[in-house]
Amino acid sequence: MNKEKILEQCNAHSKNTLMETLDITYVDVGDDFLVAKMPVTPKVHQPDGVLHGGAMVALAESVGSAACFVFLDTKNFMIRGLEISANHVRSLSSGDVFAKAQFIHKGRTTQVWDIKLKDAEGRLISAVKLTTIALPKAK
């Protein structure tokens, strides 16, 4: 696995997308995980100055979707999200938030991802579950 090439490709696919708007970058990849980072600035705050839950879910879905392209057969299948649920457990008003996506279930048709959002000190900010489906591409 060429980590640098994978991260370069993930970041290149973010151009002119929501990921670029939110300054999401892919920063680490391993045999069974992908990590993305998003700066916590007023751009992603709620009116009261803390990280918006919708921005956290956007980060989680972004890293989960990118992980699909890293770890699944996207040459023959389209991957689509089916469901996402998030439990926000801590607020954050500055710094960076990191999202790490790992499989809970890697089926041929459906996949379930565990995505943990943590601050720079490793404290849990949000626990997210993403379910995806692999649909055959038309030949």
Domains held by the chain: number? 1
Taking every pair of C-alpha atoms in the chain, what is the biggest distance, in angstroms? 50
Report the distance separating Cα 68 and Cα 75, nearest Å. Answer: 12
Report the distance separating Cα 49 and Cα 124, nearest Å. Answer: 19
pLDDT of residue 90: 97
pLDDT of residue 63: 97
pLDDT of residue 66: 95
Please give the model's pTM, rounded to 2 decimal places.
0.95
Tokens of 50: 């803390």
**pLDDT mean over 23-45:** 97
Angle at 64 between CA 62 and CA 69, to 5 degrees: 95
Q: Domain residues for 129?
A: 3-136
Angle at 79 between CA 13 and CA 84, to 5 degrees: 95
AA identity, residue 47: P
pLDDT of residue 81: 93
List 4, 20, 61, 121, catalytic entry = 61
**pLDDT mean over 38-50:** 97
CA 120 to chain centre: 16
Q: Answer yes or no: 61 catalytic.
A: yes
What are φ and ψ of residue 108, in 5° steps?
-70, -35
Identify the band that residue 138 occupies on the pLDDT scale cut at 50, 70 and 90: confident
pLDDT in tens, 82-91: 999 999 999 9
**pLDDT mean over 57-79:** 94
Whichever domain contains 9, its CATH number is: 3.10.129.10
- In which element (H, E) is residue 73 found? none
pLDDT greater than 80 at residue 139? no
Identify the band that residue 125 occupies on the pLDDT scale cut at 50, 70 and 90: very high
